Amino acid sequence: MERFSILVLPGDGIGPEVMNEVIRIVEWFERRWGLRFSVEEDLVGGSAYDHYGTPLADSTMSKAQNADAVILGAVGGPQYENLNFEKQPERGLLRLRKEMDLYANLRPAQCFDALADFSSLKRNIVSGLDIMIVRELTSGIYFGEPRGIEGKGEYRVGINTTRYTTMEIRRVARSAFELARKRDNRVCSMEKANVMESGILWREEVKLVHESEYPDVELTHMYADAGAMQLVRWPKQFDVIVTDNLFGDILSDCAAMLTGSLGMLPSASLGAAMDSGRPKAMYEPVHGSAPDISGKSIANPLAMILSVAMMFKYSFEDNSMSDVVIRSVNKVLNNGYRTKDIFTDECKLLSTSDMGDAVVEELKNQRNLDGHFQTR
Adjacent-strand bridge partners of 159: 148
Spatial CA neighbour of 265 closest among 342, 356, 347? 342
Residue 53 CA, distance from chain mean position: 27
**Cα 147 to Cα 165: distance, rounded to the nearest angstrom:** 18
Spatial CA neighbour of 115 closest among 327, 298, 264, 326? 264
Catalytically active residues, by annotation: 142, 192, 225, 249, 253
**Cα 231 to Cα 208: distance, rounded to the nearest angstrom:** 26
**Cα 133 to Cα 113: distance, rounded to the nearest angstrom:** 20
